[in-house]
Homo-oligomer: A and B are copies of this chain.
Amino acid sequence: MPVKSNRPTIKQVAAAAGVSTQTVSRVMNDRPDVSPETRERVLRVINEMGYQPSALARSLIQQRSYTLGVVTAGLKYIGPSRTLSGITSAAEQAGYSLLLIELPSFDSNHVLPILQGFISRHVDGIIWAVQEVGQNRDWLKSPPVDLEIPIVFLTMEPREGISIISVDNYLGSRMVMAHLFEQGYQNIGHISGPLDWWEARQRMAAWKDTLKEKGIAIKENHWVEGNWSASSGARAIQVLFEKYPEMDAVFAANDQMALSVLQAACARNIRVPQDFGIVGFDNLEESPYFCPSLSTVQVEQQNMGKAAVERIVRIIEAGWQNSEVNEPLSVVFKPTLVIRESSSKQLIQEKKEVITEIINEFGG
């Protein structure tokens, strides 16, 4: 079973139809300057032979591949996958193929071979869908190749002249904190994400700033750094219960870690939310079904993926006709607070959920 596929070439189709390759090309590309009879005849032959033009050859001559390079990491986690899902559907719709690369780790700074691969394959644009972690953006300071290819980043700290699609983690976390105080919780602990993640720092900053504004001193024993995993959350909550006994609520930087807090509370017979409030971040598919259901922050990851594709496509098409893209380089999505039983003394009775649009909360 030789790999070499013997599908017909444009030459063979032309010969079979008794025309030149140019005419076949014109028919394939719906050019007007072909007589109806010729067109029909050629189309018939194309169908009979099952002719499929080579995108490779076309890309080569047109210097345009209709392909996007996508870099992701941590696909085994749900966040990156959701984003990727948004990317795939938007790309399909825009008529672009996707060349996918998954980094071996989030903080990989080993990007040269990836960029070279993309260049070598003539991608029209790149979507860098890896969160900002550790030093994994350092290569931007001195790009290893001078990149003529447009590139859009997802989820990173704003940088001059770079197109970024991100979500306002700080705002989302502020909403969490405002909600917890509103519910009457006073001593709010925090389980942060790993602090080499930009997003983890943002979420933590909101926790700190809110406490500061309330005149509450932040002590070392009021928070613990986790690593996003439920097991790290389990360790963290144990430490917090021990070192911060007055604590009556926890803001966990994601739902997995919040889940462990739920479990720990359950194991200690602490009543949630009556005596202890818990809020997470990310809104897992399962979070409404935790016991009690988990309050959290909803991020439209799929839409962010879509936005990234739309943005890169607009840049590509603009560059193609040498026009400028006159819209803001970056987009910041607004998250939504989803209030469920784990933090709402009212809701635990009524068994429903409330979604707070930022617009209503933070006068938009």
Contact = CB atoms under 8 A, between A and B. Distances in A.
A148 B76 contact: no
Given A98-B100, A260-B289, A267-B291, A119 B5 contact: yes
Contacts of A245: none
Oligomer: number of copies:
2
B102 A89 contact: yes
A335 to B, nearest CB: 18
A119 to B, nearest CB: 5
A82 B80 CA distance: 11
Nearest to A229: B285
Interface in A277-306: 284-286, 288-291, 302
Given A2-B319, A286-B256, A121 B102 contact: no
B316 A291 contact: no
Given A3-B64, A88-B102, A302 B76 contact: yes
Interface stretch (A11-19, A50-58, A197-205): A50-58
Nearest to A301: B76
B56 A65 contact: yes
A116 B234 CA distance: 50
B104 A89 contact: yes
A119 B88 CA distance: 19
Interface string A74-107: 0111101110110011001000011111101000
Contacts of A104: 89
A263 B291 contact: yes
A352 interface: no
A3 B102 contact: no
A63 interface: yes
A56 B59 contact: yes
Contact of A100 (B88, B230, B286, B320): B88
A216 B260 CA distance: 39
A120 to B, nearest CB: 4
A124 interface: yes
Contacts of A81: 75-78, 80-81, 84
Nearest to A288: B230
Interface string A216-240: 0000000000000111011000000
Given A76-B82, A81-B76, A124 B3 contact: yes
